[in-house]
């Protein structure tokens, strides 16, 4: 038995199709690997942190609270204040210390627009350190 190979005069048919089956197999294996590995990457691990010997930051003598009630009225600490006079009232309460933090408490029924208006008034007065105060989980309201 003899084997006959194609000679130079006879051209073999060229396959113009790409075999994508191995590519699909590799992609499916990678998909399964990522589907299994993704939940493992988000697992919370309990860690007992060491105790720090750093001193806590000094707390200001008097905290400045800006409260917005459900009806939209604002109080600075215990005094009612209008939106127009907010900047001057905060400056007086902080002794014109623009680095002091202002704590903003708002009723949960207040619109986002009202909160942003109060924050814009604080920013216009030069107070950029604003902390939003919320109730802790499980705390009675």
- Mean of all residue pLDDT scores within the chain: 80
Are 97 and 64 in contact by the 8 Å Cβ rule? The answer is no
Q: How far is CA 98 from CA 1, 13, 65, 126, 129, in A?
A: 99, 82, 15, 6, 8
User: DSSP string covering 102-119, please?
Assistant: EEEEE-TTS-HHHHHHHH
Given a cut of 50, is residue 140 above it in pLDDT?
Answer: no
pTM, entire model = 0.55
Residue 141 pLDDT > 70, yes or no? no
Domains and CATH numbers, the chain: 64-134 (3.30.420.270)
Cβ atoms within 10 Å, residue 3: 4
* High-pLDDT (> 90) share of the chain, %: 12
List pLDDT tens digits, range 112-131: 898 899 999 999 989 888 88
Q: How far apart are the first and last CA of the chain?
A: 96
Q: Tell me the pLDDT tens digit for each residue of 76-121.
A: 888 899 888 888 999 998 888 888 888 888 888 888 898 899 999 9
């Amino acid at each position: 038995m003899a084997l006959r190979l194609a000679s130079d005069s006879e051209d073999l048919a060229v396959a113009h199709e790409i075999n994508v089956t191995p590519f699909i197999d590799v992609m499916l294996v990678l998909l399964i690997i990522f589907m299994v590995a993704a939940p493992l990457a988000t697992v919370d691990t309990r860690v007992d942190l060491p105790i720090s010997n750093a001193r806590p930051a000094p707390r200001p003598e008097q905290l400045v609270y800006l409260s917005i009630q459900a009806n939209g009225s604002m109080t600075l600490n215990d005094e009612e204040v209008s939106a127009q006079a907010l900047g001057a009232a905060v400056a007086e309460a902080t002794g014109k210390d623009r680095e002091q933090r202002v704590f903003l408490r708002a009723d949960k029924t207040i619109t986002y627009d009202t909160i942003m208006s109060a924050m814009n008034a604080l920013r216009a007065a030069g107070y950029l350190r604003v902390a939003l105060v919320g109730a802790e989980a499980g705390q009675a309201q």
